[in-house]
A and B are shown apart, each in its own frame.
Chain A
Amino acid sequence: MNKLNTSSSELDLDRPNIEDYLPSGSIQEPHGELRLRDLLDISPTLTEAAGAIVDDSFTRCFKSNPPEPWNWNIYLFPLWCLGVVVRYMILFPLRVMVLMLGWIVFLSCYFPVHFLLTGQEKLRKRLERGLVELICSFFVASWTGVVKYHGPRPSMRPKQVFVANHTSMIDFIVLEQMTAFAVIMQKHPGWVEAKDREIVARKLREHVHGADNNPLLIFPEGTCVNNHYTVMFKKGAFELGCTVCPIAVKYNKIFVDAFWNSRKQSFTTHLLQLMTSWAVVCDVWYLEPQNLKPGETAIEFAERVRDIISVRAGLKKVPWDGYLKYSRPSPKHREQKQQSFAESILRRLEEK
């Protein structure tokens, strides 16, 4: 009589349980005899909905929090105006010139090295990496990047992959300046289209296991987050059968907010904003390499590494998939709620 109909869609047991993260203080497990009131009382569900309307942890991840303006009184304002003149009229043109110089140096060296040193693979690769690191340094200089690196510089070993939290396109450049990586960002719904996923995963595995390839840098969040939170890490990087080296990046907003809010500004505007500010200050921590623990799933591994990075950089974790920026949540979440409601009703019915 009290048979529960199972839903046609299977529940994904691999996903970390969002219900553990979401506030559910208002939903106490009701017990006692089932009455009409219990069936009609939708207040817990409504409270959750209203709570989400008023404030939700997902939108908070992508909100720009600009630094407090300091130019608000009569002494500071002229100083600030002078600063604007210096930044736009002196620094900005200088930086553009530095960048152009960098490109000229890079291109004039890279092509000869690439085409003339075809015989000596090792030397060529080493020079190419050095040149890539050089052009990145030029980029970093073009927004006066003040980067403090902590921890041992990553060594070039096979069977290791680097993961980092993602705030802006410049993350990659800041990291590349130190070590020439090969970068990939996890794209929805996996690396590439589902049917190619196998191929790409295999290719990545091969790349990682190859001794002489550039180390692989992956941003498992898949999207830019505002550097106060981390969203869920996709498990792809953690299934490659190699050591994962976490890197934590935290920007100091003292002069400019490095977060690129793609909803609010184009990349060019963002880049110009960076190039006309005093400096971009950040800390980079190279953290202890991690391996898959026995009995740990890829998702648990991903969450563990996310925890390590978040703690180091002082970021709060939220249980959301970054791609919810572009798509709706899967119906599985709603079904989970429906299932727990149904189970509670039927159980209390049995108690009657």
Chain B
Amino acid sequence: MGSALSVLTQYDIEEVQEHCNHLFTQQEIVTLYKRFCQLDRNSKGFISSDEFLSVPEFAMNPLSQRLLKMTDGLNFKDFVAFLSAFSARATVQQKIEIIFKVYDSDSNGKVTFKDLIEVLQDLSGAFISDKQREEVLSQLLQEAGYKKESSLMLDDFIKILDHQGLKMEVEIPVD
């Protein structure tokens, strides 16, 4: 699709739908396109980090910096693919995959103790001491049968996180 078009044709919509494995309806893709154009102020074809941060609700989010690394420079097709994990039609495994990607900041397929601590740091800030964070994490890892030195793979994440209560859905408003 290249750079952002001002008009989305039926072909474009179908192409985007293919790319996100049909996790969004065509109507939802149209809505997402309007949103993409709204955020991409000067029609560059992608949304810059600054433009994401101009949404105060996003800027306030503790994980915004990590997410920015994943969304920076995405064109519309990839933007939709990124959000598809949040569709109600996505499987639990797809959702856990994106959670894994947020942790795995160097994208090497392994999440180390350090990665886990860093995310915990983003989430809890100065309200828990570093020492206590490490202690809690070590303790819980041990209880779940993992060693502090070992890294977690996607399968481990699926084993740990897959349960009935995992809800990660965003509703796309459709006119």
Contacts and interface: CB of A to CB of B under 8 A. Distances in A.
A5 B116 contact: no
B39 to A, nearest CB: 8
B102 A52 contact: no
B35 A49 contact: no
Contacts of B71: 53
Interface string A206-222: 00000000000000000
A342 interface: yes
A8 interface: yes
A56 B54 CA distance: 11
A158 B134 CA distance: 63
A159 to B, nearest CB: 36
Interface string B30-67: 00100100110100000000001111111111111001
Given A45-B61, A45-B63, A49-B67, A56 B55 contact: yes
Query: Size range of the interface on B?
Result: 35 or more
Interface string B123-134: 111111100100
Interface in A36-83: 36-37, 39-43, 45-59, 63
A346 B116 contact: no
Contacts of A94: none
Interface in A296-352: 320, 324, 328-329, 333-335, 337-339, 341-343, 345-346, 349
Contacts of B163: 37
A263 interface: yes
Nearest to A340: B127
Interface string B14-43: 000000000000000000100100110100
B132 to A, nearest CB: 8
A22 interface: yes
B154 interface: no
B57 A48 contact: yes
Contact of B125 (A45, A324, A328, A338): A338
A282 interface: no
Given A5-B126, A53-B55, A35 B143 contact: yes
Given A37-B160, A55-B35, A333 B60 contact: yes
Given A36-B143, A46-B168, A341-B123, A54 B32 contact: yes
A112 B60 CA distance: 56
A58 B125 contact: no
B82 to A, nearest CB: 9
Nearest to A338: B125
B127 A45 contact: no
B61 A49 contact: yes
Interface string B78-118: 00000100100000000100110011000000000000100
Contacts of A46: 63, 67, 86, 98-99, 102, 168
B5 interface: no
Given A26-B167, A35-B140, A43 B123 contact: no
A268 interface: no
Contacts of A52: 55, 57-58, 61
Contact of A39 (B39, B63, B137, B146): B137
Contacts of A39: 116, 120, 136-137, 140
B126 A40 contact: no
Nearest to A30: B165
6 contacts: A36-B160, A39-B120, A46-B63, A49-B64, A51-B57, A52-B57
Interface of B: 32, 35, 38-39, 41, 52-64, 67, 71, 83, 86, 95, 98-99, 102-103, 116, 119-120, 123-129, 132, 136-137, 140-141, 143-144, 146, 157, 160-161, 163, 166-170, 172-173
